[in-house]
Structure 1
Amino acid sequence: MRFLFALISIFSLSACQTYVVRDLDLIRPDYLTGYKTKEVFDAEKLNKTLPEARLKEEVISANQMNSEIVQIKGLSVVLPEAKTTVLYFGGNLTHVDENAPHLSKIAASCPVNFATFDYRGYGRSNGQPDALVLKDDSLRIYDHVRAKISGKLVVHGFSLGSFMAAYIAANRSVDGLVLEGSSTYPDELVNAQIPWYFKPFVTVTVSDNLKTISNTQAVSNFVGKVLVITGEKDTSTPAYLGRALFESIPSQEKEYIMVPNGTHNNLMSNPQVQVSYCKLVQ
C-alpha cells in the first residue's frame, strides 16, 4: 500500500487527474518487490513449537493463460489431538515461510491443524497473479484441502487474504470464517489511503478486475460462525471498514473485536482475540 500511496502522491502533483488502480498496484508478487526467502520453514522448525506435529509440503497444479504449468505450493500441519483444520490466506507481501511460524504458535494455544499456500508469484509458487486468478486459486486450494481432511474446516483470511476467505465462504461450505485486518471493497480501501489534502486533486478508481471483488457482497448471505478482527490504529485497513463489513454479515453467530492500539500486524497477539479465535475453531 505504501507503493500505491507513493504513486498517488506523485500523480496528484499534476493537478486534477484520475488514477486507475490496477491489480499489480495492490497485489505485489516477488518479481516486483525483490523478495527472497531468508529461512525455509521445515519439520525441524515446526517441532520446536509443536513437537508431535507432522508437516507435509503441498502442491496444486494449475494453468496460466500462456499455458505455463503453475505449481501453487504450500504446506499442511497435522496435530494428533486436533479436530479442526484452519486454511489460512496471508496478506500481501506475506509468504508461507513467514506465516507458518506464526500459525504454529496459534496452533500451540488452541490445537488446530493448519494449511497455508503462497499465491502465484509469491515464495514457493510460480506464475503470475491477478485479482481474478487469485479468486479461482482460492477455490482450488479450498477443494484440495477439503478433499484431504476430515473434521471441520475454518477459513482465515488476513488483509489481502480476507478477500480470498470471503470469496470461499460465498462459494463453498465452511465451518467458520475469520476476517482479520479486512475491508469492504478494493476501491473503499484505496480511497481510505488518500489523505484529505490530496482528494481535491486526484480521483481514484479501480480496474475492472478489482471491481469484481467485494467482501461485502461475498458475506451478504453468510450465516455461519464468523470473527471479524480490526485494529484501532491500523492505517492499512482502517477499523471502520472492518466494522462496516461486520455489519453487513447476516449471521447470528458473529463477533467483532477492535483491538485497542492494534496495528495491522499485531492483532492475533491480543488476549481477547486469542480466546475468541480458539472458541471459534474448536
Structure 2
Amino acid sequence: MKPVLDWVIFAVVVYVGLCAALFFFQRSLLYYPQPRLPGETSQTLALSVEGAELVVSVRPHDGLKAIVYFGGNGEDVTHNMPSFSAAFPDHALFLMNYRGYGGSSGSPSELVLHQDALALFDYVHARHADVTVMGRSLGSGVAIRLASQRPASRLVLITPYSSIADLGARQFPMFPVKWLLQDRYESWRYAPLITVPSTLVVAEHDEIIPRASSEDLYGRFQPGVASLQLIPGVGHNDLATSPLYLQSLQNALKR
C-alpha cells in the first residue's frame, strides 16, 4: 500500500509544481515580444505613459480620419505599414508596439496594455475626430475593451476570440487555467457595450483561435451592431495573404 501512496504523493507534487510553473511563467506563454528590426526607417511617435515609453509606428495624414491598430502577441506591427498605407490612403495610421515590443520599454500585461491603448486613443482623437479602432488576435481584446470606453467611430476585430481564459483552458485541459490566469482578455464582457459599427474578420481554417470562439463573441454584440466576414481558405497566420483580407478591412471602414 505504501508504494501506491508514495506514487500518489509524487503525482500530486508534480501536478502542483506544474500548476505553479504555469502560473509564474504564464506571460512568457502569452506574449512574444518582437524587437525593432535593425535598419527599420518607418516613422515613429514616442508616447510617454506611466512606467514606459511607447514606440508607435505612424503614417501621418492630415484630415479627420485615423486608424489605431493593435497587433497579435508575436506580431511586428510595422510590417503592416506598407499594405495599410496603400489600402487606407486617406487615413492617418497609428500602429502600437506593446511594452517590450518594437523598441517600447516595459513589460506587457493586460492592465498596462489597456492603459496604453487609452493613452494612444486620446492622443489620436485629439487630432483626428474619426478614429477606427482595429485589433488582430491578441490585439482584438485590447481593441474591443478600448472601444467600449472611448468614442471610436467603428471597430474592426481580426481573428478575435471570446476570452483568452477559454482558449487557455482548451489548450491546457489538465490544469485549472481559469483559476491561474492573470491576463484573461474577456472580450465577451465588452461586446454588449459596443454601439458603433463593428466587423469581425475570421479565418476559415484558424488553427489558433477556433471559429466557435469568434462566433461566440459575435453573438454577444447587440443586434445590428456587428457583422462577421469569413475569409475562406486561410488560417490564423496566413490570413493577410488572401486578397479578400484588405478588401474586408476596407469594407469595414465603409460601414
Compute the TM-score of the two structures, normalised by the length of structure 1: 0.75
Partner of 1:89: 70
Aligned to 2:84, what secondary structure does the other structure show?
helix
- Pick the structure with greater CA Rg: 2
99, 112, 121: which one pairs with 1:142? 121
Residue 236 of structure 1 is matched in structure 2 by: 208
- Superposed CA RMSD in Å reads 2.6
TM-superposition CA deviations, 1:167-225 (whole Å, max 9, x none) = 1111111100001011111111223335xxxx4x44433545324x3100011221210
**What's the CA shift for 1:95?**
2.2
Equivalent in the alignment of 1:78: 60
Task: Say which of 150, 170, 178 aligns to 1:205.
Answer: 178
Moved over 6 A (4+): none
Q: Which runs of 5+ in 2 are unaligned?
A: 1-10
What is the identity, as a one-letter code, of the residue corresponding to 2:177?
A: V
Cα distance change on mapping 1:77 and 1:206 into 2, 3 Å: farther
Q: Report how far residue 147 of structure 1 moved.
A: 1.1
Change (3 A) 1:209 1:132: farther
| Whole-angstrom distance in 1 between the partners of 2:154 and 2:57 | 21
1:220 match: secondary structure: helix
Q: TM-score, normalised by structure 2?
A: 0.82
Give unpaired runs (5+ residues) of structure 1: 1-10, 43-55, 65-69
1:162-177 counterparts in 2 under 5 A?
162-177=140-155
Residue 155 (1) aligns with residue 128 (2): no
Q: What is residue 238 of structure 2 aligned with on the other side?
A: 266
For CA contacts below 8 A with separation 6 or more, give which structure has more relative contact order: 1
- Give yes or no for the alignment of 1:37 onto 2:24: no
Aligned to 2:104: 125
The residue aligned with 2:79 is 98
Q: Among all aligned residue pairs of Structure 1 and Structure 2, give the percentage whose two residues are the same amino acid.
A: 22
- Write the letter of the residue equivalent to 2:26: R
CA contact (8 A) 1:224 1:251 kept: no
Q: Is the 8 A contact 1:23 1:131 kept in 2?
A: no
Partner secondary structure for residue 162 of structure 1? helix
1:84–1:281 Cα contact (<8 Å) kept: no
The separation in 1 between residues aligned to 2:119 and 2:180, in whole angstroms, is: 24
Q: Secondary structure at the match of 2:126?
A: helix
Provide closer, same or farther for how the CA distance between residues 262 and 280 of structure 1 changes in structure 2, counting only shifts above 3 A.
same
CA 1:27–1:202 in 2, change beyond 3 Å: closer, same or farther?
A: same
Residues 100, 106 of structure 2: 8 Å contact kept: yes
Instruction: Please tell me whether residue 60 in structure 1 is matched to residue 32 in structure 2.
Output: no
Alignment-derived partner of residue 52 in structure 1: none
Note closer, same or farther for the CA distance 1:165–1:101 as it changes in structure 2 (3 Å cut).
Answer: same
Provide the C-alpha distance between the structure 1 equivalents of 2:190 and 2:212, rounded to a whole number of angstroms. 18
Q: CA deviation at 1:268?
A: 4.2
Aligned to 1:3: none
CA deviation after TM superposition for structure 1 residue 267, in Å: 2.9
Count of aligned residue pairs for this structure pair:
238
What CA distance in whole angstroms lies between the structure 2 residues aligned with 1:59 and 1:232?
37
**Secondary structure of 1:179's partner?**
strand
